[in-house]
Amino acid sequence: MNYKCELVEQPAQPVLSIRTRSVVENLPQVFGQAYGAIIKYLSEIGEYPSGPPFAAYYNLDMQDLDVEAGFPVTKALPGKDSIKPGEIPGGKFASCLYTGPYSECEPAYNALTEWIKEKGCTPTGVAYEFYLNDPAQTPESELQTRIMIPIK
């Protein structure tokens, strides 16, 4: 499959998120709980997400993933309990759009990693995924994930 990889410049983005550790098999439940808790909290304070849900992966150990799940918001907001304020840093990102089941996105990562090498860039070690449509309403084969890797 061909992936359109590109370089994008993004401003810093305030977020509310929950950072945790999980085995890869439990991610759907972990993300569902995190997104649900954040949406509930946003509703309580009269705010809304300013974009689709995201996950940040700080390592690639499938048995002990260090992940952050959250939503972009329009401004810095206070956190509550495990929900923390933060930001996706601004700067240059290598980006590609993957369409298909979440569990089969490895070829898109491989293509993006190869593209980064070809461009002579260095990844920062964090990978972001933005989930552009709702898995409860979208067939797996049509799920869209924007993969973004900050680069130096």
Render each residue's pLDDT in the chain as its tens digit; 152 residues: 689 999 999 999 999 999 999 999 999 999 999 999 999 999 999 999 999 999 999 998 989 999 999 999 999 999 999 999 999 999 999 999 999 999 899 999 999 999 999 999 999 989 999 999 999 899 999 999 999 999 99
Structure confidence at residue 16 (pLDDT): 98
Query: What pTM, to 2 d.p., does this model score?
Result: 0.94
Q: Where are the beta strands (DSSP E) in the chain?
A: 5-10, 13-22, 54-57, 65-72, 84-88, 91-99, 127-131, 144-150
Nearest to 149 by CA among 18, 3, 10, 2: 10
Nearest to 109 by CA among 7, 5, 36, 25: 5
Q: Return the SS3 of 25.
A: helix
Structure confidence at residue 60 (pLDDT): 85
Gyration radius from the chain CA atoms: 15
Domain ranges of the chain: 5-150
Structure confidence at residue 87 (pLDDT): 96
Does the structural domain 5-150 have CATH classification 3.20.80.10?
Answer: yes
